[in-house]
Structure 1
């Protein structure tokens, strides 16, 4: 018999075991925060997930239709090619400058396979959900890496930033502004610029990140860059950190030069299209004085929150439900004040320089969010503010002041994380209990509720089955009635679903987008309405049945010829942002202009023959 000795491997040294244990705990914490963020995001968007094809954002169906159209256009680009920054599928015959709109180019290409497989409705709610979840998780990672050691403190700050009142309100339609992960990603790459010897690599990476962020949320990129500049300037000017800033300046400036070169190369064409391409414009289609934050809104509660559910909201202080950008509530503002005093008292000189710079960013962006004139409790005062001058400058002229408050949400999230870090590491048991109660009292009322959804009309079989091809060739001009606008976006939806299938497509007149045509050369929402368009909109939205004479028919002939419109159709159910539209009045008005329709599948269709009067005079 042979004896076999089995050699056993030596046990892992204590340091290795400790590192492995820490690694497991870190991954467990990451998974817990990510899961919490995803569950909260699914909670907020649950109304859409219940039925993506039959439900729409109640407060903002136009923006949802616009983004669904872009997602369908992404499939069209991959299948047939084209320009990601300009399309003639909308606003026939002029087209739309997508670079001057929020074209979310990276998203529409990345999610094109899902859009083709499941439809733009599913891609839309998927992106919306991931935006919220990734925003919270990205802020958590950034805070833990750069500002706090306790993961619980980073999780608190990250979840607040990801589900702050402004982010939840922008979940009412906006795939750009809910991409709150852009800010911590950019800030992380900015902080790496001072690493010695890596200016080329770090500058190139930041340039690529800038290009990515521009393709998703150019306005958010501008806000983050502006906030970074204010913070760095304030931090570098502090006596305690001036020497560090001076030592890092050559490396940072060299890296920024690389960033500018890389981003400039990647964005050369999009920037040209944005500022000088066809159908571009200056300014915005929105009134900056109207879209400014009310000073009292910082102390109010948002409508889609626990406090709002309890009837404590002040939605009347916002321009619309999508723009409740501050609405932090008085308890949180008071907590932030106490946290600032506490952190300042216990901070060394370097930490105070960081805290001072953070507070300066918060103050600057609070004042910017108030817009050109101070408004308090929905009463505009005569007190002019700095934005009255800034509004005339490039980039500032295209931004909406109320959205600067989203940066303030980031500042508050960082303060919450720093305060929680101090409580967990320094405060005694009694103090911890008091702080825990204060955090609960300030944050519990802000827990988000799901965004409200409403019914949307089902896609007509006339579109879904491709019957429309018998009336309009590939690339021809066809429209549902009424023509697409923000209050009635169905025509834009039906085009989006057709684009997502990757086959033949049709163009539409009008649409919901930003384009030229506003006062003083500025932009406006949609295209200037032609007389026939006005008739149809009045019939659909107000039930107004105008007298139709030969003059209106002749005008209709000219308008249809301008659009090169070949057919229009009316679905059995037409739903706008305020509910059902006036189907009978719309049918009667169109029949008076074009004659009797054909019944095809589940729609009424009117053919339009070029060069022929719509109906016999007097008929």
Structure 2
């Protein structure tokens, strides 16, 4: 019996893996060579994760502090403890990185993310209902949800979510089998630490919703399950204490004042709540109907990677049925309440409908708390999908007649078809191109010691971090993309125009000062890029001279007329203040025009949305 159970368990894992192979076009469309040279999803976020996967093995092999790198934003560097540097996944995939390179590791982790998420949810749900088929459906609903496949467009840290269902599975096993507290605590501590080293954002938000779930459980079950709940609370408490010990290296790095190079500020989460229409209308991430609804979904205030709320009519019908039928049952009522809490929280501080701010939402009460300002509310839908997976599985298994079981299974499968990912997105991998100048490590021989390089396209607009990883991390750059621009680089007027390719707007003297201040000895310009002529003119006016061309790379050095002392810190600050004033005014005007355009598209009055936007500006929420 035990062997049969093990066989079924791993057969389920294989089945989920086959679904992923189908969606990602592995073998039948994308070859082994593509696995090494193409990125699933693509985009700058993907490249930054490829770099992180290369960085951790490199740092450990060379005896460097892995939480701080001076290869990016040199010479001051970046405190990676405050970035999404995924040390857990980098170490997990180290053998693949060593053998095939970081791109292969990235693609492997991306493919495994929905597979392991679905399988871990299956294990957890099966422990609750003891039936394979409903648990399989519930696991699929979580692992192959619109949230998961939206984040698969480039957010590896947010797709590798298997630790969350595994955490709940361990809690259920510990309760049912009366595990010793130390055993429960050790397993929970390892899962929590793994999650923190993968995504501190998910660790934080999971803790919040876990506390909410425990509060609901205690409120409803305090009398009949008081002893069991106290045991669970004790195991969780020791689990978190153990996790803090395991997390101590990164926590020390985060709060070590000597490593505070990260700088930057919390991103605005105002526009990253789940739009109310997103629950009913698919984005292009979804196969059925997604491409035909872009005239509405393009109005959503976030982007398609963050719009993970689409449920579809069949699943919505199932959820309404469950709420009506099972509200009187306490165990299901807790799930319903938690689903409601999560969905409302996912609206963010401001409720949007078709991108238009309608009113404030409850999350505004928590918006300014530490760490939560960094958490995008639309990402809370990951927890909603997990709760929905449990609810749907319970609903399917509760069919008392064969006919009802067939109908419920059929409606659930129809719901899964409605949220099936768009293969045209996920089996068309993005090619990466590393110029021979970098892959052959020619750059390593040309860079003087204690100097840095700038690559154009600059920062997040280019693939300079990929080139650095391909060259074996043999040179430093006075640029990069690790989230926000770190201090003191965020004070420089030249950084944003360089990133956006607005070369004509850059003061040549300011660029020369930037180059001098950060010991830049070479600037590499890729030929054939948009506005290449403007970039070359910008460098020439700054006193940089073109010395040589290596294939698709033109290399610049300081010329004889390069005479520019570094700006003082006061000068940089004043320059930055002037620029930010103009930039914020431009952003506000652009936002107002967007509101007018959206209102005209939907045929609604402009007054209320404009008033709400003005209120947001006055309360410093829209910056």
Give the one of 187, 200, 205 matched to 2:168: 187
| Cα offset, 1:333, TM superposition | 1.3
Give the one of 267, 291, 306 matched to 2:272: 291
| Cα offset, 1:310, TM superposition | 6.2
Change in 2 beyond 3 A, CA 1:535/1:267 = closer
Whichever of the two has the greater Rg, that structure is 1
Indicate the residue corresponding to 2:49 in structure 1: 67
| Alpha-carbon distance in structure 2 between the residues aligned to 1:245 and 1:443 | 35
1:565 aligns with 2:538: no
1:427 aligns with 2:401: yes
SS at match of 1:323: coil
Indicate the residue corresponding to 2:24 in structure 1: 45
The answer as to whether partners of 1:484 and 1:510 remain within 8 angstroms in 2 is: yes
Change in 2 beyond 3 A, CA 1:611/1:100 = farther
Indicate the residue corresponding to 1:334 in structure 2: 317
| Alpha-carbon distance in structure 1 between the residues aligned to 2:447 and 2:288 | 52
| Alpha-carbon distance in structure 2 between the residues aligned to 1:534 and 1:257 | 45
Indicate the residue corresponding to 2:549 in structure 1: 599
Indicate the residue corresponding to 2:492 in structure 1: 530
Give the one of 478, 496, 500 matched to 2:469: 496
Change in 2 beyond 3 A, CA 1:469/1:517 = closer
Indicate the residue corresponding to 1:203 in structure 2: 185
| Alpha-carbon distance in structure 2 between the residues aligned to 1:595 and 1:442 | 61
| Alpha-carbon distance in structure 2 between the residues aligned to 1:172 and 1:414 | 26
| Alpha-carbon distance in structure 1 between the residues aligned to 2:325 and 2:261 | 50
| Cα offset, 1:535, TM superposition | 5.6
The ranges of structure 1 where at least 4 consecutive aligned residues each deviate by more than 6 angstroms after the TM superposition are 280-283
The answer as to whether partners of 2:459 and 2:499 remain within 8 angstroms in 1 is: no
Change in 2 beyond 3 A, CA 1:206/1:475 = farther
After superposition, what is the alpha-carbon deviation per residue over 1:254-307, rounded to whole angstroms, capped at 9, x for unaligned? 333422332222222312333455336799542211111112211222322221
Change in 2 beyond 3 A, CA 1:369/1:242 = same
Please tell me the root mean square deviation across aligned C-alpha atoms, in Å: 2.9
Indicate the residue corresponding to 1:127 in structure 2: 109
Indicate the residue corresponding to 2:417 in structure 1: 444
| Cα offset, 1:85, TM superposition | 1.9
The answer as to whether partners of 2:163 and 2:194 remain within 8 angstroms in 1 is: no
Give the one of 377, 394, 402 matched to 1:401: 377
Change in 2 beyond 3 A, CA 1:366/1:280 = farther
SS at match of 2:309: coil
| Cα offset, 1:43, TM superposition | 3.3
Indicate the residue corresponding to 2:594 in structure 1: none
| Cα offset, 1:454, TM superposition | 6.4
SS at match of 2:514: helix
| Alpha-carbon distance in structure 2 between the residues aligned to 1:285 and 1:94 | 21
Give the one of 235, 252, 260 matched to 2:240: 260
| Alpha-carbon distance in structure 1 between the residues aligned to 2:112 and 2:248 | 29
1:368 aligns with 2:345: yes
Indicate the residue corresponding to 1:589 in structure 2: 538
| Alpha-carbon distance in structure 2 between the residues aligned to 1:601 and 1:134 | 42
| Alpha-carbon distance in structure 2 between the residues aligned to 1:192 and 1:428 | 30
1:301 aligns with 2:264: no
The answer as to whether partners of 2:269 and 2:376 remain within 8 angstroms in 1 is: yes
Change in 2 beyond 3 A, CA 1:237/1:610 = farther
* TM-score, structure 2 as length reference: 0.82
Indicate the residue corresponding to 2:223 in structure 1: 243
Structure 2: runs of 5 or more not aligned: 566-623
Change in 2 beyond 3 A, CA 1:140/1:283 = farther
Indicate the residue corresponding to 1:160 in structure 2: 141
| Cα offset, 1:367, TM superposition | 0.9
Structural mapping, 1:340-489, within 5 Å:
340-344=323-327, 352-381=329-358, 383-423=359-399, 426-429=400-403, 431-450=404-423, 451=425, 453=428, 455-456=430-431, 458-473=433-448, 476-485=451-460, 488-489=461-462
| Alpha-carbon distance in structure 2 between the residues aligned to 1:150 and 1:595 | 71
* TM-score, structure 1 as length reference: 0.82
| Cα offset, 1:248, TM superposition | 2.5
Give the one of 159, 162, 165 matched to 1:178: 159
SS at match of 1:304: coil
| Cα offset, 1:447, TM superposition | 1.2
The answer as to whether partners of 2:147 and 2:308 remain within 8 angstroms in 1 is: yes
| Alpha-carbon distance in structure 2 between the residues aligned to 1:468 and 1:167 | 39
SS at match of 1:89: coil
The answer as to whether partners of 2:37 and 2:103 remain within 8 angstroms in 1 is: no
Indicate the residue corresponding to 2:88 in structure 1: 106
SS at match of 1:514: coil
